[in-house]
Amino acid sequence: MDRESPWQAMARQAQAEARTIVEELDIEGCWRRAGAEINAVGSYRTGLLVRHRDIDFHVYTPKLDLDLSFGVMARLARAPCLHSLHFVNGSLTEERCLEWHAVWRRPGGEPWQIDIIHIEKGSAFDGYFERFADRLCSRLDAESRDAVLRLKYETPEAEAVHGIEYYQAVLEGGVRTLDQLRCWRRAHPLAGVNLWMP
Q: Is the dihedral of CA 13, 10, 117, 40 positive or negative?
A: negative
Q: Are 25 and 76 in contact (CB under 8 A)?
A: yes
Rounded distance between C-alpha atoms, residue 44 and residue 129, angstroms: 12
Q: What 3-state DSSP class applies to 40?
A: strand
Q: What's the length of the chain?
A: 198
Each residue of 96-155: pLDDT tens digit?
Answer: 999 999 999 999 999 999 999 999 999 989 999 999 999 999 999 999 999 999 999 999
Q: Is the pLDDT of residue 1 over 50?
A: no
Please tell me the pTM assigned to this model: 0.92
Residue 90, H or E segment: strand 82-90
